[in-house]
Structure 1
C-alpha cells in the first residue's frame, strides 16, 4: 500500500523508508511526486501528458520518441529537410550558427569528405584522427577532439548518436525529442559550431583549444546573444507595478511565497513571509524538503505551505502572492492544472476556505525578493525554521528596500 510509505499522521513521504525499499531510479521517481496536505482522492493519470490525459496523439509521440532513441526512426529526405528548415530558423541563435546548421544538414560544410568529392583534396580522411572519413557528424561528434569536447559538456543527450545517421538525421531526431526543450537543441548546435570553428582555426595558425574552453565560449556566445535580445522587454517590464511589492488592502495581511531547487543535493526549499499593510514583518519561515521536485511542483508546495503557515499564525484576511503565473492561472481556473500539481492546488483551495477572506495574486520576481531569499535560506537549515516579528538580516534588508520603494512612489 502506498500509504505505508508515508510518515505517520501526515501526508509526507517517509524518505528513509522509500530509499531503503526501492532502487535509486525508483526512489527519485517516487520522491519527485508531490503530495498534498489535504488527502485528495486517488486518480489515474497518463504519465506521457502534462495534464495526465490519455490521447492517441500522446501515444504516437511516445512511439516516435522511442523509435528515435532506439535509432529506428526514418523518413524521406524531403520531409527531413523541411522539418530541419523550420527547426533551424526557429532557433534563438545568432544567424551565423543557423547558417552553419543549415549547411551541415545539407551536407555542404567544407569537410574533407565534401572537398574530396569535388576533387579539391587528395583524400577524405580526417586530419585530426587520421583513421576515418571526415563527414560532418564524424568531425562534430566522433573524432578524438570532438569527443573530448563533449566529455567537457554537461549537456545530457536523450540517446546515443550513431555515426551512420549523418548530421541531418541526428539534428532531426534531437529536434523531435527536445520538442519542448529547445534551449537544449540550441546549446547542442552551439557546441557543434564551436568545434567547427576551432577545427578551421588550427590549419591557419590557431591554437587547438581544450574541450572545456570550446564549450564555455560557445555557450557564452548563446547566453550573451539571448540576453541582448531580451534587454528591451525586460527594461519595459521593470516599470510595471507588479515588479514592486504592493501592500495588501487595509486590514489584510500579505503572504509572499517562493520555492528554490538545490540541484547538487537533490533537495528543494520553501520560503514564506507575512507582512502587514505597512510592510512590517509579522512572521516568516523556511523549510528544506528532502524531495527532488521540479520547478512548478516546488512553487506549488511553497504556496501550500504558505496557506498552512498563515492559518497557524492566526490570520483571517489574507492575500497570497507567488511569482508563478502558471500556478496562479491554475488557481483561478483560467487554465487546466498540470497533473503533478492538481491535487496540491485542490488542497490549497480547500484549505483557504478556513480564512474569512482571501485572494491569490501573481507578482514578478522583483516583487517577491524576501520570499526568494527565505527559500534560498532553507538550504542552510535542517527541517523547519520560523521567525515571529523578525527574520534573517538579508531578508530584513530586502523588506526595508520594498518599503523604501513603496514610499518613494507616493
Structure 2
C-alpha cells in the first residue's frame, strides 16, 4: 500500500452505486502491482452477506485434512530449496489425492517412476537374462499394452460403448503388438471424432451460449455471448474484454453472468443458459449455499434468473459451443465491448454456418 493511504475499509474502494471498483481511488492509494490484483477480483452485483471461506479446498469448506496439507506446504515453502520447483509436483498431488486404496496409488506412483519389477527393468538390472513374456516366452512383456487396453475397457464400459471381454485383453494386446511391429506407421487404434453439433431451443425460447477465453500475455480475459431462437437465427452477439480474474472458473462464471445481463437488457424472458463448464453447471444446479471463491458470482446469476419468466441451464461440449468461444477469442482484438444485432462478426459467419449445417 502506498504511503499516505486514507482508506480504512474495503468498502471504501467500491463504487456502491455501480457495484464496481473505484479504480481512480485504488490507483492513488496502492502500488501498481497491488492495484492490478485488486481490480482483477470480481465483485458481486447483488446484495449478499459476508461469509468466511477456506480457499484451500475445492468446495472452500474447511477440513482437518486440508488444514494439515496447508501447514505442510507452508513449512516446505519456508525451507531452503532449489530455485526451480519440481515440475511434477501437481501430478503427484493429484495422484495422492485419488479416492482409491493406498496400494493402487503406490502402484501408479511406481509406474510413473518406471520402478515396477517388469521383465525389462529386471533385465536392465541383470536380475533376469531376458525380457520375454512369462506366458508365451516368445515376445517382450506386454505390460504397458495390457494396461492401456484395461484402461480403454474401463472407459468404454463407463460410456456404454462396446468393448472386448476382460478374458480377451491379453490376446488382443498381443495382436496389437504384432500389428504395430508389422506396420509401425499405422496406429493400432482409431478415434472417430463426433462432429460439433449445436441444438436449438424449443419454440418461444432463446438459447444463450456463453464462453470465456484467457489472454495471459495481456492479463485480460475475453467474454463471448450469442443469443439464438428456435430456428437458429441470431438475435444478438457480444464480445467483450475484461480484467483477468484469479481462476479459470471465475472467467466462465463472469461470462455466464454477463450473458444473463445481456439477455435482460434485450428483453428476452425464456432463456436457456448454455456453456461448457461442468463445475459452473453443477454449482448453478446445487441448492445448498456456495462457499467457493466464485460463489458470490453464482448467486448473482441465480438472482438475475429470478427476473426471467422461465430459466434453464444446459451443459455442452466445447466443440458444441464453438461460436461463443470464437466470440470470446475475438475480443482480444477489440478495444471496447462490441455488439452485433441479429448477426455475428463477418469473420465468424463460417462458424455460424457450421452450426446451421449441423441442424440438418
TM range (shorter): 0.5 to 0.7
Gaps in structure 2 of 5+ consecutive residues: 1-8, 82-95, 97-101, 118-123, 126-186
Q: Are residues 1:260 and 2:213 paired?
A: yes
| SS of residue in 2 equivalent to 1:340 | coil
Q: How does 1:320-399 map to 2 (within 5 A)?
A: 320-333=273-286, 337=290, 339-399=292-352
**Which residue in 1 is equivalent to 2:86?**
none
**Which residue in 1 is equivalent to 2:139?**
none
Q: How has the CA–CA distance of structure 1 residues 29 and 363 changed in structure 2, closer, same or farther, with 3 Å as cutoff?
A: same
Q: How does 1:163-242 map to 2 (within 5 A)?
A: 232=191, 235=192, 238=194
8 Å contact 1:31–1:293 — kept in the other structure? Answer: no
8 Å contact 1:258–1:272 — kept in the other structure? Answer: yes
Residue deviations 1:212-255 (CA, integer Å, cap 9, x gap) = xxxxxxxxxxxxxxxx99975xx46x26xxx5110000111111
Aligned length, in residue pairs:
267
Whole-angstrom distance in 1 between the partners of 2:190 and 2:242: 35
1:301 deviation in Å? 0.4
Partner residue of 2:73 out of 65, 68, 71: 65
Q: How has the CA–CA distance of structure 1 residues 39 and 383 changed in structure 2, closer, same or farther, with 3 Å as cutoff?
A: farther
1:395 deviation in Å? 2.5
Runs of 4+ residues deviating >4 angstroms: 83-89, 228-232, 334-338
Partner residue of 1:291 out of 241, 244, 247: 244
Partner residue of 1:282 out of 232, 235, 244: 235
Partner residue of 1:52 out of 60, 65, 72: 60
Q: Are residues 1:90 and 2:108 paired?
A: yes
| SS of residue in 2 equivalent to 1:58 | helix
Q: How has the CA–CA distance of structure 1 residues 293 and 60 changed in structure 2, closer, same or farther, with 3 Å as cutoff?
A: closer
Structure 1 length-normalised TM: 0.58
| SS of residue in 1 equivalent to 2:57 | coil
Q: How has the CA–CA distance of structure 1 residues 393 and 229 changed in structure 2, closer, same or farther, with 3 Å as cutoff?
A: farther
**Which residue in 2 is equivalent to 1:18?**
26
**Which residue in 2 is equivalent to 1:99?**
114
1:24 deviation in Å? 5.2
**Which residue in 2 is equivalent to 1:316?**
269
Q: How has the CA–CA distance of structure 1 residues 304 and 265 changed in structure 2, closer, same or farther, with 3 Å as cutoff?
A: same
Whole-angstrom distance in 1 between the partners of 2:17 and 2:294: 22
Whole-angstrom distance in 2 between the partners of 1:38 and 1:60: 35
Whole-angstrom distance in 2 between the partners of 1:249 and 1:389: 19
8 Å contact 1:89–1:98 — kept in the other structure? Answer: no
1:25 deviation in Å? 5.4
1:276 deviation in Å? 1.0
Whole-angstrom distance in 2 between the partners of 1:370 and 1:31: 29
1:101 deviation in Å? 11
Whole-angstrom distance in 1 between the partners of 2:340 and 2:198: 20
Whole-angstrom distance in 2 between the partners of 1:35 and 1:364: 28
**Which residue in 2 is equivalent to 1:31?**
39
Compare the two structures and name the one with the higher helix fraction.
Answer: 1
Q: How big is the alpha-carbon RMSD for the aligned residues of Structure 1 and Structure 2?
A: 3.4
**Which residue in 2 is equivalent to 1:305?**
258
8 Å contact 1:11–1:39 — kept in the other structure? Answer: no
Whole-angstrom distance in 2 between the partners of 1:230 and 1:282: 43
8 Å contact 1:289–1:383 — kept in the other structure? Answer: no
1:72 deviation in Å? 8.3
Whole-angstrom distance in 1 between the partners of 2:288 and 2:115: 39
Q: How has the CA–CA distance of structure 1 residues 403 and 289 changed in structure 2, closer, same or farther, with 3 Å as cutoff?
A: same
1:398 deviation in Å? 1.0
